[in-house]
Amino acid sequence: MTDAAEQKMRFLYALRSKGVTDARVLSAMEKIDRGLFVRGLFADRAYEDMPLPISCGQTISQPSVVGLMTQALHVGPRDTVLEVGTGSGYQAAILSLLARRVYTVDRHRRLVREAQEIFRKLDLVNITALTADGSFGLPDQAPFDRIIVTAAAEDPPGPLLAQLKIGGIMVLPVGQSDAVQSLIKVTRTEAGFEYEELRPVRFVPLVEGLASE
Query: Which one of 90, 103, 119, 144 is in contact with ligand SAH (CB under 6 A)?
Result: 90
Q: Does 134 bind ligand SAH (CB under 6 A)?
A: yes
Residue 80 dihedral angles phi and psi, to the nearest 5°: -105, 125
Query: Which one of 79, 106, 114, 145 is in contact with ligand SAH (CB under 6 A)?
Result: 106
Are 148 and 81 in contact, with CB atoms under 8 Å apart?
A: yes
Residues in 143-202 at the binding interface with ligand SAH, rule: CB under 6 A: 150-151
Residues near 93 by beta carbon (within 8 Å), at least 6 away in sequence: 32, 37, 118, 119, 122, 124, 127
Rg of the chain over all Cα atoms, to the nearest angstrom:
16
Residues in 30-59 at the binding interface with ligand SAH, rule: CB under 6 A: 58-59
- Shortest separation between residue 5's beta carbon and ligand SAH, angstroms: 24
- Shortest separation between residue 74's beta carbon and ligand SAH, angstroms: 18
Q: Does 207 bind ligand SAH (CB under 6 A)?
A: yes
Q: Where are the alpha helices (DSSP H) in 76-192?
A: 90-96, 109-121, 158-162
Residues forming the active site:
61
141: region left, alpha or beta (phi > 0 left; psi from -120 to 50 alpha): alpha
Query: Which one of 105, 172, 183, 201 is in contact with ligand SAH (CB under 6 A)?
Result: 105
- Shortest separation between residue 191's beta carbon and ligand SAH, angstroms: 29
Query: Which one of 107, 138, 170, 188 is in contact with ligand SAH (CB under 6 A)?
Result: 107
Q: Could you check whether the bond before residue 200 is cis, i.e. omega within 30 degrees of 0?
A: no
User: With respect to ligand SAH, which residue has the nearer C-beta, 134 or 168?
Assistant: 134
Rounded CA-CA distance 50/46 in Å is 8
Q: Does 204 bind ligand SAH (CB under 6 A)?
A: yes
Q: Does 108 bind ligand SAH (CB under 6 A)?
A: yes
Site for ligand SAH (CB under 6 A): how many residues? 24
**Do strands 144-149 and 80-84 pair parallel, antiparallel, or not at all (unpaired)?**
parallel
Q: Does 206 bind ligand SAH (CB under 6 A)?
A: yes
DSSP three-state, residue 68:
helix
Contacts with ligand SAH by CB under 6 A lie at 58-61, 84-85, 87-88, 90-91, 105-108, 111, 133-135, 150-151, 204, 206-208
